Amino acid sequence: MSTNGRKKAIIYSLLLLLAIAAPLVVRDEYHRHIMVMCGIWVIAALALNLILGYAGQLNLAHGTFFGIGAYATGLLMQKAGIPFWGALPLGCLITAFMGVVTGIPTLRTKGHYFPIATMCLGIAIYYVIARWDDFTGGARGLFGLPRPEAIPLPFGKEISFDSTIACYYLVLVFVLVTIVVISRLVRSLTGKRLIAIRGNEDLAQSLGINTMRDKVMCFTISTFFAGLAGGVFAAYMGTLMAENAHFLVSFEMLLFVMIGGVATIAGPVVGGIVIPLLTEELQFLGGMRLVVFGLILILTIRFLPFGIVGGLRMAAMRIAGRGGKTQ
């Protein structure tokens, strides 16, 4: 067990070093930009995985919460003149608040009703954002959002976020925070309760678990991190379009989680990195890219229900000769 733990620690440190060194190796701005985007998607995918993978609730409004976080942060910066470092946490809190308000009625539903209710919710909020011209800029979007303000350091130095590489490290810090918080959460007793709810909600309830409280809490945390990804996205991109809150965004995040590997911490990380990179590689397919991803999604569900990470684990176990069963 302890050698296993040490092995894991070594692997994680190597991966972290790789993540830190990556933008130093990749020198052109465009690829650095894609790496920043990957980081933002990883945060959002980890958040979706929390509610989908662990609590077993398919939230089809996840992309909408990403959009709410982005618009909340962007509007706080632009209309209220609040600096990024204040607007971001406020934006996350607003998103989480929306999560509580919408989660309490929708999470009362079970089975089929929850994805349907959240899909309807996502469509409704998208139309509000796209049509509320005076407030959100409507279909034209929001422009000229400022980048995060520089962090002052002693001796008159500062960390400024004008360059892509600085933004990359900022996003990397947020990714690490997200990974630590979510992996601690799913390993805690609460995480076990969530998994019990995923397995059989009625049974979990009969064992004395307050399933509603746990689901709402999980949903709130999930939307909080979706808002975080959105807020960082807003400040990094500088512009927001209603399309950033479209329900198709939820579908893309679902791709990251499912193809990466649902119900693992590594899965959304892998998915959030591999799929955007693959998207770049498949540029030549033009509009057919998402068609290909749709097909990949369906085939993944059928043949590799735990995605890339689940598949790799299964392969590793086979090689180790312990029989090939996950979970």
Partner 1 sequence: MLGSIYAMVALGLTLIYGILNIPNFAHGALYMIGAYMAFFAITSFSAPYWLGLIVAMVILFVIGMLVERLAFRPLYDKPLINSFIVAVGLILIFENGALAIWGPEFRQIPPLSDAVIRVLGTTITMQRIIVIITAILLIVAVHLFIKKTRLGAAIEATSQNREGAQLMGINVRLMGGITFGIGTALAAVAAVLVAPILLIYPMMGAPVIGMAFVIIIIGGMGSFFGAVLGGYLIGLLETLVSSYVTNYFTEAIIFGLLVVVLAIKPTGLFGKEH
Q: Which residues bind partner 1 (CB under 8 A)?
A: 52, 56, 58, 60, 102, 104-106, 108-113, 115-117, 119-121, 123-125, 127-128, 131-132, 247, 251, 254-255, 258, 286-291, 293-295, 297-298, 301-302, 305
Task: State which residue, 97 or 169, has the beta carbon closest to partner 1.
Answer: 97
Are residues 279 and 255 in contact, defined by beta-carbon separation less than 8 angstroms?
no
Total number of residues shown for the chain:
327
CA distance 105 to 108: 6
Buried b (16+ CB within 10 A) or exposed e, 257-280: bbbbbbbbbbbbbbbbbbbbeebe
CA angle 303, 308, 309 (to 5 degrees): 120
Q: Which is nearer to partner 1, 150 or 295 (CB)?
A: 295
Q: How far is the CB of 88 from partner 1 (least distance, A)?
A: 26
In angstroms, give the least distance from the CB of 140 to partner 1.
Answer: 15
The separation between the first and the last C-alpha atoms of the chain, rounded to the nearest angstrom, is: 19
Least distance in angstroms from the C-beta of 123 to partner 1: 4
CB of 215 to partner 1, least distance (A): 12
Q: Smallest distance, Å, CB 222 to partner 1?
A: 16
Judged by beta carbon, residue 74 or residue 103, the one nearer partner 1 is 103
Handedness of CA 97, 99, 103, 106 (dihedral sign): positive
> 121 vs 273, which CB is nearer to partner 1?
121
Question: Do 257 and 268 meet the contact criterion of CB atoms below 8 Å apart?
Answer: yes
Rank residues 29 and 133 by Cβ distance to partner 1 and give the closer one.
Answer: 133
Inter-residue contact 257 to 242 (CB < 8 Å)? no
State which residue, 83 or 105, has the beta carbon closest to partner 1: 105
| Least gap, CB of 158 to partner 1 (angstroms) | 43
